[in-house]
Structure 1
Amino acid sequence: MTWFRTLLGLLACGTIASAGDWPQWRGPNRDGHSADTALLGAWPADGPKLLWSLTDADKVGTGYGSPAVVGNRMYIIGADGAKQTAAEFVTCLDLKDGNRVWRQNLETTPGKFSDGWGGGPRSTPTVDGDALYVLGVTGDLVCLGAEKGDIRWSKNLVKDYGGGIPIWGYSESPLVDGDKLLVTPGNKGGMIALDKRTGKTVWQCKELTDGAAYSSILVTEVGGVRQYVQQTMASGVGVRASDGKLLWKVGGIGRRTAVIPTPVLHDNYVFFTAGYGAGCECFKLEKDGDGTKATEVYTKNKVVANHHGGVVRVGDYIYGHSDSSGWVCFDMKKGGDEAVWQNKGVGKGSVSFADGFLYCYSENDGTLARVKAAETGYVESGKFAIPQKSKLRPKQGKVWAHPVIAGGRLILRDYELLFVYDVRKPKA
């Protein structure tokens, strides 16, 4: 009976992930794919219907992270201003109308990072059952109750694990895998696995001493070996899930300055890309005794050089923005010296995928284009711009939060602004 009452409580507060949810960074599977189907086939000329928006800074807070959505609730992390010293907080909103369900202030640890792009957190919350996990810009890792926002435990990646704040602040979004919570403190902190319920350290991969980048961890299994794949400031790496052993490490593309995109995994292949001239590389992961080896498929390829905004895989193809070519379609496994297609499109930006379409969100002016995910070419089937731009975001900053498609809603953020659109197909 106790278990049954708990289940009913979780259902009531909407914290059990279902098919239409976006419970963490880049969606249900961390691949930029929404599980939503039956979305609008055609958009009006001025875009889908705007259901509601929040434009007061104290409602959402400043920051570049995307929201997480589970059931009828949205979770987002922000700060109370654009300065480096801004205090962080987590907000839970009703997805239907934007009304606040709860707000929890966080004890933000002082720390130095370059805030020319503006203060505020950069990460997406992770929802797991009745718990919510967030990572602040100076390394505060906090577990909260999803129903009321009560703080259950907190750690700091620098003070507690010897990590180092990246130049522009921690931007990683925590990963939950079974009973473990995974993050990358970087430097002497390596990668850590914590007990998600208590925050107690399960293991710490101290073999990994690269600086933390701005990417987030993925989980995969190769030949029965479960492992965590991450991109650091210097390398692509795989860490064994059972004990934190560093299994493999690659680094042919000359990562530098800021390494941001989350890797892509498919059929035991892993694809990495980064900007500042780095380009992309692909490796085949294969069983090697009780570990894994990473065999180069190609490296130092310049066709896809994604600064930030990420890329998505649909079928055998990678789609996203490349610094050298604009929006591109690229064969992930074959590589090659040319894109399948390229197009300037809406300009540099982030991308998500839903129901056969790419949602390409321009960092410069907040224009979103819906583009058919096909190797035949870049074809827009709808485009509009958010109705206003941030007044708090410093000029160096851009529209950097990724699009979220969940529960038939398209959710777009620009620093302290939040816009929620209805993209559901009308009922017959």
Structure 2
Amino acid sequence: MKFHSRFIRFLSLAIVLLTSQGIVTADDWPQLLGPNRNGISKETGLIDAFPSSGPKVLWKSDGGVGMSGVVIAEGIACTLVQDDQQQYALALDPSTGKTLWKAGLAPAYKNSMGNGPRATPVIDRGQVFAYTGEGKLCCLDAKSGLTKWSVDAIASNQGKPPEYGTASSPLTTEELVIVTVGTPEATVVAYDRETGAVRWKAGSGNPAGYSSAALLPLQGTVQVVVFHGQGVMSLYPGTGEVLWEYPYETPYDCNIATPIAVSQSVLISAGENHGTTLLQVPKEKGQDVQVVWESLGNRSVLRNEWQTSILHDGKLYGFDNVGSAGPVTHLTCVDAQNGHQLWRKARFGKGNCVAADGKLWCSLMTGELVIVRVDAAGFDELDRATVIGETRQAPAISNGKLYLRDNSEVVCIDISKERP
């Protein structure tokens, strides 16, 4: 069946899906990588450099162990944390850092690569969806933190968590919450967001990997694009019907970055010295995916280990992790259409980034926050300062504030320019 034959059926769905995450303001950061799950905020009027006295810290709040990012919407800043006993969803007042509620989710999760929950939660239309380290999916009330329902998504599908823990963030639509489980019974499962009942399952036998699925508008419809441990697959959101697949095997199933739409193509990137590939999406179901360009191996121009690159005006800005587990990391700019490297800042440091107001906001594992101008002509660092302890999380930006966390606290920094 041709994709365009279903265009009318999915046109209204596309509008709903792209806004369901969605009934938010431009100032919200409701999910992993922001409003559109691409790491880009529409906010403007942000600083180009820190004040001479240093970053303006509005508040710091006790958090806990974990690798979950911070999301901000509907009057709360939320992340997943852990103490010696339990994993929690923690909701803070975005303006003051005061704890609004703290909801227990599951027993403490321990892993040799770091303890605590990994997946970033989602705030969507009065609900918070959290995915724990061992793969328990929980739906909470955003105002009170009370649990509405929960399901052990991995165990109930006869599986085990990935080696390094469950890291895929939930993906919401108008009716569903979708998670990657990577079990013998299913690669992806969609649950009814109001009841937790299974609505559909898709794929089987593929390990989950650590990437978070994305809703991407491609070939006249919105597709759920899932970068699992051994490849990428595309699904119809409403039914889970598989549209196309492409193998992409990485050592240790370490496909982690979120897929990116580049016009009618999908870009995937992985570390462990793997590389980056741009795939042309087929117009008809059953047709093969075509490789537009690829840059693989130890000479690749871009290897996103656990960071998703930023696509701006057809250029990719991202972290290139060299070697297994990325002992050396460059910041680089690549033309998304052809894979040509435009510039590289060697040994920039391992970290993560988002974009807002024409700038990259880079959080390094050292705890430094670095401001870099988005410019394909060359690397232009504007300022840097240490703001927190060791962290892997990308910053979140909302209402002129930047939020970041480590294994002990959450920090909120004012990055808005002073208004006259």
Q: Which of 51, 55, 73 is matched with 2:76 structurally?
A: 73
Any gaps of 5 or more consecutive residues in structure 1?
A: 1-14, 390-397
* Corresponding residue of 1:11: none
Letter in 1 for 2:43: D
Following superposition, the deviation at residue 255 of structure 1 comes to 5.1
Q: Which of 165, 174, 181 is matched with 1:178 structurally?
A: 174
- Is 1:175–1:181's contact at 8 Å kept on the other side of the alignment? yes
1:317-328 paired onto structure 2 within 5 Å: 317-324=315-322, 326-328=330-332
How far apart, in 2, do the equivalents of 1:298 and 1:347 lie? 27
Cα 1:420–1:203, aligned 2, differ >3 Å: closer, same or farther?
same
Letter in 2 for 1:310: T
Q: How far does the alpha carbon of each residue in 1:256-279 deviate from its partner, in whole angstroms, 9 at most, with x for none? A: 452211111121211111111111
Alignment of 1:191 with 2:188, yes or no, is: yes
Cα 1:376–1:300, aligned 2, differ >3 Å: closer, same or farther?
closer
1:18-417 paired onto structure 2 within 5 Å: 18-45=25-52, 47-54=54-61, 59-81=62-84, 86-108=85-107, 115-188=111-184, 189-205=186-202, 207-252=203-248, 254=250, 256-289=252-285, 293-301=288-296, 302-324=300-322, 326-336=330-340, 339-344=341-346, 346-363=348-365, 365-386=366-387, 389=389, 399-417=391-409
Cα 1:44–1:374, aligned 2, differ >3 Å: closer, same or farther?
same
- Is 2:352–2:392's contact at 8 Å kept on the other side of the alignment? yes
Q: How far does the alpha carbon of each residue in 1:117-169 deviate from its partner, in whole angstroms, 9 at most, with x for none? A: 32110111101111110000000100000000110000112222233311110
Q: How far does the alpha carbon of each residue in 1:44-75 deviate from its partner, in whole angstroms, 9 at most, with x for none? A: 24543011112xxxx42210111110143201
- Is 1:284–1:296's contact at 8 Å kept on the other side of the alignment? yes
Any gaps of 5 or more consecutive residues in structure 2?
A: 1-21, 323-328
The alignment yields a C-alpha RMSD, in angstroms, of: 2.0
* Corresponding residue of 1:394: none
Following superposition, the deviation at residue 185 of structure 1 comes to 0.5
TM-score (norm 2): 0.88
- Is 1:252–1:281's contact at 8 Å kept on the other side of the alignment? no
- Is 1:185–1:212's contact at 8 Å kept on the other side of the alignment? yes
- Is 2:250–2:272's contact at 8 Å kept on the other side of the alignment? no
3-state DSSP class of the match of 2:41? coil
Letter in 1 for 2:124: D
Letter in 2 for 1:122: R
- Is 2:67–2:119's contact at 8 Å kept on the other side of the alignment? yes
- Is 1:346–1:367's contact at 8 Å kept on the other side of the alignment? no
Letter in 1 for 2:207: G
Cα 1:300–1:382, aligned 2, differ >3 Å: closer, same or farther?
closer
Following superposition, the deviation at residue 313 of structure 1 comes to 0.8
3-state DSSP class of the match of 1:160? helix
Q: How far does the alpha carbon of each residue in 1:307-332 deviate from its partner, in whole angstroms, 9 at most, with x for none? A: 12221111111111102361000011
Following superposition, the deviation at residue 335 of structure 1 comes to 1.3
How far apart, in 2, do the equivalents of 1:285 and 1:80 lie? 44
Following superposition, the deviation at residue 22 of structure 1 comes to 0.3
TM-score (norm 1): 0.86
How far apart, in 2, do the equivalents of 1:332 and 1:294 lie? 17
Alignment of 1:419 with 2:419, yes or no, is: no
Q: How far does the alpha carbon of each residue in 1:194-252 deviate from its partner, in whole angstroms, 9 at most, with x for none? A: 111111111101x3421011110111233334321111111011122232122211125
How far apart, in 1, do the equivalents of 2:367 and 2:80 lie? 20
| Number of equivalenced pairs | 389
Q: How far does the alpha carbon of each residue in 1:72-96 deviate from its partner, in whole angstroms, 9 at most, with x for none? A: 3201111113xxxx41111111111
How far apart, in 2, do the equivalents of 1:240 and 1:209 lie? 19
Following superposition, the deviation at residue 253 of structure 1 comes to 6.3
- Is 2:209–2:253's contact at 8 Å kept on the other side of the alignment? no
3-state DSSP class of the match of 1:375? coil
3-state DSSP class of the match of 1:142? strand
- Is 1:219–1:228's contact at 8 Å kept on the other side of the alignment? yes
Following superposition, the deviation at residue 21 of structure 1 comes to 0.6
How far apart, in 2, do the equivalents of 1:406 and 1:148 lie? 22
Q: How far does the alpha carbon of each residue in 1:288-311 deviate from its partner, in whole angstroms, 9 at most, with x for none? A: 05x675221123431101112221
What is the aligned-residue identity percentage?
28
Letter in 2 for 1:34: S
How far apart, in 1, do the equivalents of 2:320 and 2:408 lie? 27
How far apart, in 1, do the equivalents of 2:48 and 2:368 lie? 19
Following superposition, the deviation at residue 16 of structure 1 comes to 5.8
